[in-house]
Amino acid sequence: MRPVKEPVKTANHNPALAVIFWMVIAVFILIGITSAVSYYILPFREYGKFVFPSILAILLLLSITLLIIAVREKVGGIFGKFLLLTGASAIGAAAGILLHNFLTGTAGEYVFFIVGLIIAPIGFLTGIIGSMVMFIKKRKFG
């Protein structure tokens, strides 16, 4: 008798998961480009204060969508943890930036500055890199 080969187990998640994930990365890169342009190119400084909040809102909505899809699809293992870290850190960064601006002149301003501009982006980058490695490793391109 010949041994029966077991089918390769690949996680076929919702294709929207991959699309939303790559869109989060694209918007994150766009935020970096927008920040650099509005800081270094003088005529764009006035427009940056209008463009940056809208791009941050798009990142926030995409991150919430990423979290919802990852939880509904019951993505497990380390891949699911990286996706949750990516979505939660983006939400934490956006919330930290907003609360930092709202709590100007209080002790909370410093706490949310550190959370929004240091801690959450480190978690976000860790989640992105880990998720990208898992996407490539497991060929989960959606």
> Which H helix or E strand runs over 129?
helix 120-138
Nearest residue to 92 via CA among 72, 75, 67: 67
Q: Where are the domains of the chain?
A: 15-138
Express each pLDDT in 96-121 by its tens digit.
Answer: 888 888 888 888 888 888 998 899 99
How many other C-beta atoms can be found within 10 angstroms of the C-beta atom of residue 34?
Answer: 19
pTM: 0.76
